[in-house]
Amino acid sequence: MRVAVVGAGVIGVTAAVAVKEAFPTFEVTVFAEIFTPHTTGDGSAGLWGPFVLADTDPRKIVEWSLLTHKWMKNFWKSGRAAETGVSLLPCYRLSCKSYTKPEWLSVVYGGCELTEKELKRLSKANKTEYTGGVHFVTFTCEPVKLLPYLMKKLESMNGQFVQRKITDLKQLGEEGFDIVINCTGFGSKELVGDKSVSPVRGQVMRVKGPWLLECTLEEGHHGNYVIPNIDSTVLGGTYQEGDYDCSINPSDTKSIKEGCERIYPSIKKCGIISEWAGLRPGRVQVRLESEIMSSLKKKDLVIIHNYGHGGSGVTLCWGCALNVVEILHQQLKIKNLSKL
């Protein structure tokens, strides 16, 4: 059985590894235009935390994010934290707008809602007005370290990588592939003509601040966040719907710097390492489902779509990859494709 995974971001590479682990005899090839360290996830801090998921079913968010959390925990506990870029951090997620208790709070360690007293104290300390918030402990899993680790792993299992732009998924059927897994993120807007995919621009800055071992995220009018990584700290951020501009906007730089210094004044002492802007693959909901297409060569070309993870690709990647494997099992059974 020949499987083509299109896309080498955190969604495509995890899907490829999960499929190869589940079906070791299948031939797995990853096609992509862009590889690490230039994918969307590479620019992110890789914090576990559901964000920008529009109308995705909250039960699915909990299911996928829980599986991913356990997967990160395994890396962290088994001595592979440095290689995979996994750290464990205390986090505040604070709301400056209307607040509702997040459904995923049961997934993280020590998740609890903040009391009125704590909110008052934090509002005073951070010079803003919080309406609600939670405190918890969770992982960051940095794609810039995770992706090379997973790619090496896939190669060791005889998986292949091909740098190529795909313009028609059916073409892969003509080339003899039986299954295509579409993990093209924002690229699905063009590749499968999905009009519901839209960019949600995010700009961030990396600074040197090794003492910043606490994460704070503000939701609402500020949208500032501070997320420590292993070699740097990520300061954010912006959330700009429909904005395709990946250049650095100086007024965003100013508001990121001022907002993060308001929360942690010691950031004034941090040197700036780099700045980056990327597009979160926004969609009305994550698309994780199969579709059967026919091409001249393959009457039953199984396509499994896995894209539109918004601001949560890292958070959901492994849970979604396992869901791809589950769909693949179902499809092989329904279509009796294992006999191909």
21-35 burial, b for 16+ CB within 10 Å, e for fewer? Answer: eebeebbbbbbbebb
Determine if 138 is a binding residue for ligand FAD (CB under 6 A): no
Query: Rounded CA gap, 46 and 39, in Å?
Result: 12
Chosen residue from 4, 10, 53, 270 binding ligand FAD by CB under 6 A: 10
Chosen residue from 7, 132, 133, 173 binding ligand FAD by CB under 6 A: 7
Q: How many residues bind ligand FAD (CB under 6 A)?
A: 41
- Indicate the residue among 178 and 194 with the shorter CB distance to ligand FAD: 194
Determine if 322 is a binding residue for ligand FAD (CB under 6 A): no
- Exposed, middle or buried, 289 (CB in 10 Å: 0-12/13-18/19+)? exposed
For residue 281, what is the enclosing H or E element? Answer: strand 271-282
Determine the Cα angle at 72 with ends 75 and 285, to 5°: 155
- In terms of Cα–Cα distance, which of 76, 72, 133 is closest to 101? 133
Residue 247: other Cβ atoms inside 10 A:
7
Determine if 209 is a binding residue for ligand FAD (CB under 6 A): no
Q: Looking only at residues 104 through 123 of this chain, which bind ligand FAD when binding is defined by CB under 6 A? A: none
Determine if 171 is a binding residue for ligand FAD (CB under 6 A): no
Determine if 19 is a binding residue for ligand FAD (CB under 6 A): no
- In terms of Cα–Cα distance, which of 273, 269, 275 is closest to 237? 275
- Indicate the residue among 6 and 119 with the shorter CB distance to ligand FAD: 6
Determine if 223 is a binding residue for ligand FAD (CB under 6 A): no
CB of 117 to ligand FAD, least distance (A): 29
Q: Looking only at residues 257 through 296 of this chain, which bind ligand FAD when binding is defined by CB under 6 A? A: 278, 280-281
Which of the stretches 21-29, 44-52, 69-77, 260-268 binds ligand FAD when contact is defined by CB under 6 A? 44-52
For residue 274, what is the enclosing H or E element? Answer: strand 271-282
Alpha helices (H) in 78-134, listed in sequence order: 81-84, 116-125
CB of 278 to ligand FAD, least distance (A): 4
Q: What are phi and psi for residue 297, nearest 5 degrees?
A: -85, -40
CB of 25 to ligand FAD, least distance (A): 25
Q: Which residues contact 248 (CB under 8 A, 6 or more apart)?
A: 203, 275, 276, 277
The conformation of residue 167, written as its DSSP 8-state character, comes to S
- Indicate the residue among 39 and 126 with the shorter CB distance to ligand FAD: 39
- In terms of Cα–Cα distance, which of 251, 182, 240, 306 is closest to 52? 240
- Indicate the residue among 133 and 281 with the shorter CB distance to ligand FAD: 281
- Indicate the residue among 119 and 209 with the shorter CB distance to ligand FAD: 209
Q: Looking only at residues 233 through 262 of this chain, which bind ligand FAD when binding is defined by CB under 6 A? A: 237
Q: What are phi and psi for residue 289, nearest 5 degrees?
A: -160, 165
Determine if 45 is a binding residue for ligand FAD (CB under 6 A): yes
Chosen residue from 111, 133, 185, 259 binding ligand FAD by CB under 6 A: 185
Determine if 88 is a binding residue for ligand FAD (CB under 6 A): no
CB of 35 to ligand FAD, least distance (A): 6
- Indicate the residue among 119 and 186 with the shorter CB distance to ligand FAD: 186
Which of the stretches 26-34, 70-78, 110-118, 249-257 binds ligand FAD when contact is defined by CB under 6 A? 26-34
Query: Rounded CA gap, 108 and 48, in Å?
Result: 9
Greatest CA separation found in the chain?
Answer: 67
| Residue ranges that bind ligand FAD, judged by CB under 6 A | 6-12, 31-34, 39-41, 43-47, 165-166, 183-187, 191, 202, 204, 237, 278, 280-281, 307, 309-315
